[in-house]
Amino acid sequence: MEFPHSGVILSMMQWEKLLAAGRFDPENRAIPSNERFRTEFERDYDRIIFSAPFRNLQDKTQVFPLPEHDFVHTRLTHSLEVSSVGRSLGKSVGEYLLGKYASLQSVGISPSDVGAIVAAAALTHDIGNPPFGHAGEDAISDFFKFHPYGQVWQRHVKSLEWEDLCKFEGNAQGFRMLVSKENGLKLSLATLAAFTKYPRPSQLFEQSKTRRSQKKYGFFADQMGDYAYLAEKLGLKQVNSECWLRHPLAFLVEAADDICYSIIDLEDGCTLGLVSWEEGIRLLSGILQEKYQPEKLQKYNKESQQLAVLRAMAISRLVEEVVQAFIQQEEAMLEGEFDQALTDIIPSAEALAKIVKISVSQIYRSKPVLEKEAAGFQVIEGLLEVFSTAINHKFYQTELFSGKDRSILRLLPKELSSADWENHTHTYALLRSLIDFISGMTDKHALALYRRVKGIALPGA
């Protein structure tokens, strides 16, 4: 197949290579495991669960920043639920693939392996998100685009690097964290590829608006080589010189996320009284169709129990529909002809769209959410202003470097402390490290540090 204006002829990708064993380690330092009780992909899942970045998700915003209600989801609970749905999708698809491609069984692939890949990738899908959710992403981008002490860096970096800074993307930040030479998890190649929903850099000269995989970007300018290595190992084909086709399992990771945030954000909205119980029931029944039997709900006394039952049934139905959609489009994915969200082509697509519409108007734009998002903008911008100003004064406007700046820089982690910067040569790498520090914070950590550096609160106060 030839893509318009790309000049690149693509052959069909092969599942044997897409699911090949091996870990992300361009320098070949990984030690092969002879472990008999866990597969390589199961080890991915365990490494993620026990990692510090994953634990930090317990205090990062899903929809409601710093939630006060016991039963409202954080990024951690959301990620666990997406992973659970992803495992179901992956195992079902794995059974289909092994039935169709006998060679997969001969190389030791099982349906559970496919489920484990999707589950692990789904577990990490939000790992690069900063404090305060999407508001945090926008706050980092806006700082470099609009703030005087953000704009000052444009003259010190390349155009591709500036594009990264002005368009902070949690997906690319997640990829950076997972493949980091110092702190990366050395995940399997297949899990990393399934994680990468947007295999392209931030600046794209031949962007196609019809291709879902080009909607956002998945790696920063200095990590295109890392993704190229991954793609070469798995046989992922290039659309053009700047971006690649998705790994087919990335469609399942995306679908698991779409299912969970659509259905469970609605449930949270009902729990908080932003959406009425009656409306929540009506929206979920639109997915269940003939399976919706209101009389059976009467045996549950609490409205929350009734809603939970319908939520579980709706997710189950959506999983079945997504699996069938994947099966129908599987060969088109391998050829690069299919590039849409699976949840956009299933029978329940219209019902899901109605849920999203209500969620936007009554949940995502509700006063409590908007108020806390506004606070998140202030916190993220304030931290970037304080630390980037001190960095700028140290290296570029040295005549302004003050005792205050020196004290501010000493608050950074050891690997970012001023003592390690004497041989500083790469501005973009320095700014990326600062963003790593701030985006890796939990909501409460970011808020507490902001109060201290702004003199609003003292340690222990």
Range with the lowest mean pLDDT among 36-50, 229-243, 411-425? 411-425
In this prediction, residue 246 carries a pLDDT of 96
Number of residues that this document lists for the chain: 461
Taking Cα atoms as reference points, which of 234, 250, 252 lies closest to residue 326? 252
Q: Which residue has the tokens 């189950």?
A: 316
- Contact, 123 vs 79, CB < 8 A? yes
Q: Among positive and negative, which fits the CA dihedral 229, 230, 235, 237? A: negative
- Contact, 81 vs 126, CB < 8 A? no
As annotated, the residues of the chain forming the CATH 1.10.3410.10 domain(s) are 251-366
Q: How far apart are CA 138 and CA 119, in angstroms?
A: 28
- Contact, 141 vs 166, CB < 8 A? yes
**251-366: CATH, from 3.40.50.720, 2.30.30.190, 1.10.3410.10, 3.30.565.10:** 1.10.3410.10
Q: Which residue has the tokens 């489009």?
A: 329
Q: What is the pLDDT of residues 128-137, one digit of tens each?
A: 999 988 889 9
- Contact, 303 vs 204, CB < 8 A? no
Q: For 181-204, what is the mean pLDDT?
A: 89
Pair of tokens at residue 368: 């409590």
Q: Does the structure show a pLDDT above 50 at 4?
A: no
- Contact, 221 vs 164, CB < 8 A? yes
Q: What is the pLDDT of residues 251-295, one digit of tens each?
A: 999 999 999 989 988 988 888 888 998 899 899 999 998 888 777
Q: What is the pLDDT of residues 39-58, one digit of tens each?
A: 888 889 999 999 988 888 88
Range with the lowest mean pLDDT among 36-40, 172-176, 361-365? 36-40
Q: For 108-132, what is the mean pLDDT?
A: 94
As annotated, the residues of the chain forming the CATH 1.10.3210.10 domain(s) are 15-249
Top-level class of domain 15-249: mainly alpha
Q: How far apart are CA 159 and CA 351, in angstroms?
A: 42
With vertex at residue 80, the alpha carbon angle to CA 58 and CA 14, rounded to the nearest 5 degrees, is 130
Q: How far apart are CA 96 and CA 205, in angstroms?
A: 37
- Contact, 355 vs 266, CB < 8 A? yes
At 380, is the pLDDT very low, low, confident or very high (cuts 50, 70, 90)? very high
Q: How far apart are CA 153 and CA 141, in angstroms?
A: 13
At 427, is the pLDDT very low, low, confident or very high (cuts 50, 70, 90)? confident
Is pTM beyond 0.95? Reply is no
Q: Quick one: 368 exposed, middle or buried, by C-beta within 10 A (0-12, 13-18, 19+)?
A: middle
Highest mean pLDDT among 41-45, 218-222, 317-321: 317-321
Q: Does the structure show a pLDDT above 80 at 353?
A: yes
**Higher confidence at residue 159 or residue 206?**
159
Q: Does the structure show a pLDDT above 90 at 188?
A: yes
Q: Does the structure show a pLDDT above 50 at 179?
A: yes
